[in-house]
Each structure stands twice: as C-alpha cells, then as structure tokens.
Structure 1
Amino acid sequence: MAVGWAGDDSVSQQIQHNIDDEISRVRRNLITGESAQFCDECGEDIPEARRNAIKGVRLCLHCQSSLEHAYQRSSLFNRRASKDSQLR
C-alpha cells in the first residue's frame, strides 16, 4: 500500500531507475580500440599481459584501482543518504 504521494509501484520504479543508471554508466565506460603502452595518468609502462587481457586499456593497474575506488566512494553517498535519490 502506498502512502502519501508515492504510487503503488514507486519502489519498483526506483529499483528499475537504479539498474538503468548503472547500465548506462557501465556502457559509457566501455573501453574500445588499441591499448596504450604507457599509462595516461602516471606514464608508467602498462605490462603486455594487461594490454592483451583488456582491449583498449589506458591506465596501469594502480591508477585504474585508484579511479575505481574514488568513483565507488562518491557514488555511494547519493544512493544511501539522499532522499532525492529515493524519491526520484
């Protein structure tokens, strides 16, 4: 049963919006093309095994891990603490 202004399916809609947002983010970040020999961030050599394993890799393992960690920290705030993200 819905309470207030929310519709009966508002929870399902919010879950679907979250899934759609995450799919869009992953598609935007897909890497294609030729792998770089040197990291775009720090300039260190990217090992050949990493270049062969991941098509279009642009960052070394350390820089990629730092980037993903920073993104994860910033994306968690809105999903858990903001009422706007829950009411969309």
Structure 2
Amino acid sequence: MADIADFANDLVQERIDQALAARNATKPALVAHSFLFCETCDDPIPEARRLAQPGCTQCVGCLSLAELKGARHA
C-alpha cells in the first residue's frame, strides 16, 4: 500500500519532469549544416541536396557507392 512518502516522491518527480520539459521547450533547435563540397570526391554538393538533406557530407554518387560497399560487407 502506498504511503505519504510514495505520494511525495511521485509529486517531486512530476515537478522535475515538468521543469525539464519546460527547459527543453525553450532551447533552440540545432540546425545541421551541410558541407558545400563532398568529403569523398571534393565535388560541389548541389544546393537542392543540401536543402533536402541538412547535414549531408557527401554527394549522391559517393553516398550511393558507400551504401553499396556497406551492404556488401554487412
């Protein structure tokens, strides 16, 4: 049977959860920046790709090759 200490612990945990949620809600979201040039072949990464896939580091061709190599070795 729950006693007063259990109720107090539940209340404290609820307040902590609320405070953390409020703090996280005010944090700005980090924006991932894409590379301008492919880290593998040094060719420019098209702007459309950088906008569609924030944080990309490779061009589509190099990424496709890397995924194929990874699939073969998996």
Same fold, TM-score > 0.5, yes or no: yes
Structure with max Cα Rg: 2
Q: Which consecutive unaligned segments of at least 5 residues does structure 2 have? A: 1-30
Q: CA separation in 1, counterparts of 2:61 and 2:49?
A: 12
Among all aligned residue pairs of Structure 1 and Structure 2, give the percentage whose two residues are the same amino acid: 39
Counterpart position of 1:65: 64
Partner of 1:40: 39
The Cα offsets for residues 16-45 of structure 1, whole Å up to 9 and x where unpaired, read as xxxxxxxxxxxxxxxx72000100000000
Question: Gapped runs of 5+ residues in structure 1?
Answer: 1-31, 76-88
CA-based RMSD: 1.2
Distance in 1, Cα, partners of 2:69 & 2:48: 25
TM (norm. structure 2) is 0.57
- TM-score of the aligned structures, taking structure 1 as reference length: 0.48
Q: How does 1:19-30 map to 2 (within 5 A)?
A: none
